[in-house]
Structure 1
Amino acid sequence: MASSDSASSSGRDDVADRTTDTERAVHGTESVAELRAFLNSYACEHLASPIRKVRFRAGRIDAVWGVDLDDGRSVVIKGHRAPVDHEAADATDAIAAARDAQRVLAAAGFPCPEPLSGPDKFGGRVLTVETLLAGAVPDGRDPANRRLLAAGLARHIDLLRARPDLLQRVGAGPSWCQYQAGPWPVPHDSIVNFDVTPAGYDWLDAYARRASDRILTCRDGAEVVVGHADWYAGNAAVHEGVLVGTFDWELVADTEAVIAGFAAACYAASSTSGGGLSSPDEATAFLQDYEAARGVGLTGGERRTASAAAAWIVAFNARWELAMSTGRGEEGPNLSLLREHGQHYLDLTW
């Protein structure tokens, strides 16, 4: 998890502002009024209703607008960014697979938005629209919310086992899930470059390779499942102690232990809990909650896999942070976290 579509929203219906960096990257316009007109045309064609009000604008990877329509519906329209890695699997098919997964989950009563249209190729862009679910972003560091997130992860992975056809369509997921070629994948955003590691940080390359090698060794032969690729508090909503919304459904096909390890490393990050990746103790607590929700403990090999997957996510975020901060002369919190606790992440025990 290096970024999220649920962060950074304006919360006002203002068409005089300049578009955000994400909106310009996706839609290629600096005018909010022009973008609203484009999305209004899309809504009229695919939802049979114009936009009445813009509730919020958000997104760091894809451009997300929450809107009220004239017909009374509240929906989320997402403009999807073209993949940086043009040799990757068909991004539109991966989006379609995620939409199919959401339909399965919504039909089972799982708290995720119901897809209404898309992926649609409209005006040279790829758009989707889904129902808008309301709720407060939880403090992931609250143990009760941590348990909700662990249970939600276990439940949706189990529900999606009913759709084995999704495995090939989903593939390796976004770049922060792609440890297989170690140490670094092609980043999901061209604003960073992982090709050359700054002097003095060879240890970070070596650590990421060690984590990825351990995942590959420990997960060998395990069942591959489908799960949310960015499962953390910032992509969730809670109301009165109940998980009522889960968002930004990018999927990854991997083993259950790997997906749980990914989530363990970042589940607590959100604007309400001060952001930040999990400490080793927090990651361990999440994995314990995950086992409890699952009803069956992870095997020794699965625990080692989950631990290495958590280490990989911390390493990826540290590498992203390094790429963004080159030349500033100071380390960010993820690099510091890895320097202090790197071995502990690799050796989580419970």
Structure 2
Amino acid sequence: MDFREALLSSFEDEENMILCNSILGMSDAEQIVADMNDFCRCHLNSSIHSCLHISFSVGASFGFELENGNQIFIKVHKPTSADTITAISKPYLTAVSSVQKSLAESGFPCPRVLLEPTELGAGIATVDEFAAPGELRDAHVPAIRAAIAQTLAQLIKSTEPYRDAPGFASGRFGASETLYPIPHNDLFNFNRTAKGAEWIDAIAVKAKNTVNRIKGRVVLGHLDWSLKHFRFSGNEVAMVYDWDSLKLEDELNVLGIAAATFTTTWDIPVKITPSQEESYAFVKEYEQFRGSAFTGEEWTKVSAATTYCLAYVARCEHALDQEGNNYEGSFRHALASMVGELYLDV
């Protein structure tokens, strides 16, 4: 599809327009097309032939086929301060690209890096190959769930040599002075939408206190280990995306985030939340692939981290849907249906 046409089509969704303005500082389609073409000609020696993908969230993501036939994926990141959950800077993205490059070369299922992080307007662009092997699968299928857990354990082991490399940002899970961190993009305003969310906050307070009371070991882990970033070949993981989520974080928090969101995608028609039993099974499978058992206290922290993550996403949902029109199957629904005080209490 023509890039300009694809961009204008994406702007028919008002949320995309809001996010584009917040990330790129503008939503002028003509200027964005010109800037992207200039960038590709300067750094990749070819103009854009067609657009393969556009999405906006924490960053502005574009898949292109260039005139020379190469297929690339550009993500433009808005720099943010180190005390936010995104913590985007050029040194950080450079550290991520270095590890991602090494992982890809070792055979880990992630895209090859094509260009070091480079300024693009007011943002910083990362450029990878556009890699979409295999297919999308449902993580409610036990074999797919186990593959996602196994790949997370593999990642944690593979990144151990890079844990002390300069430039990496800390994930800051549970570190904010307020109950929740500043939301990850401009669509969510927790202060303006607090009414009706008191029950979510009450669950989050207890879970966060437990998260911060129990300490685990710091690892270099992926903090958005959700189905939307995966492709599969059969029951094996074929590709993992979103490597700007690679941060230093307590392993138990990394696992809790994954246990809360490993089923989450809007790309295929599946339930986005795991059941309590599925989250518990995911953690047990990770524990098996990890090769060493968690203590009772560590299990408590993983359960608290899972619950706190569910509460954060539930608050994001509430910010956009205060009337509860999209409640069925949501994170709010999962949290409200929870048996016990923490999500792994099964």
C-alpha change, 1:199 and 1:59, in structure 2 (3 Å) is closer
Q: Does 1:312 align with 2:290?
A: no
Residue number in structure 2 paired with 1:105 = 103
Deviations 1:285-333 (A, max 9, x none): 111111122222222222111111100111001111122223x365733
* TM norm structure 1: 0.86
Residue number in structure 2 paired with 1:52 = 49
Contact 1:140–1:233, Cα closer than 8 Å, also in 2: yes
1:215 to 211, 214, 222: 211
C-alpha change, 1:331 and 1:243, in structure 2 (3 Å) is closer
2:231 to 225, 229, 237: 237
Matched residue of 2:182: which SS? coil
Report the more deviating stretch, 145-154 or 101-110.
Answer: 101-110
Matched residue of 2:340: which SS? helix
* TM norm structure 2: 0.87
Matched residue of 1:126: which SS? strand
C-alpha change, 1:241 and 1:329, in structure 2 (3 Å) is closer
CA distance in structure 1 between the aligned counterparts of 2:104 and 2:324, rounded to whole angstroms? 47
C-alpha change, 1:342 and 1:196, in structure 2 (3 Å) is farther
CA distance in structure 2 between the aligned counterparts of 1:329 and 1:268, rounded to whole angstroms? 21
Mind listing any 5+ residue stretches in structure 1 that lack a counterpart?
1-11
- Deviation at 1:339? 1.7
Residue number in structure 2 paired with 1:258 = 253
RMSD: 2.4
Residue number in structure 2 paired with 1:336 = 333
Which amino acid in the other structure matches residue 13 of structure 1?
D
Q: How many positions carry a matched residue from both structures?
A: 331
Contact 2:65–2:72, Cα closer than 8 Å, also in 1: yes
CA distance in structure 2 between the aligned counterparts of 1:331 and 1:47, rounded to whole angstroms? 43
Report the more deviating stretch, 87-96 or 35-44.
Answer: 87-96
Residue number in structure 2 paired with 1:93 = 91
C-alpha change, 1:152 and 1:329, in structure 2 (3 Å) is closer
CA distance in structure 2 between the aligned counterparts of 1:159 and 1:306, rounded to whole angstroms? 21
C-alpha change, 1:225 and 1:273, in structure 2 (3 Å) is farther
Pairs within 5 Å for 1:1-350: 12-16=1-5, 17-18=7-8, 19=11, 20-21=16-17, 22-83=19-80, 88=84, 91-135=89-133, 136-166=135-165, 169-172=168-171, 177-181=173-177, 183-195=179-191, 198-218=194-214, 220=215, 222-249=216-243, 250-270=245-265, 271-326=267-322, 328=323, 332=327, 333-341=330-338, 343=340, 345-348=342-345
Which amino acid in the other structure matches residue 36 of structure 2?
L
Contact 1:233–1:268, Cα closer than 8 Å, also in 2: yes
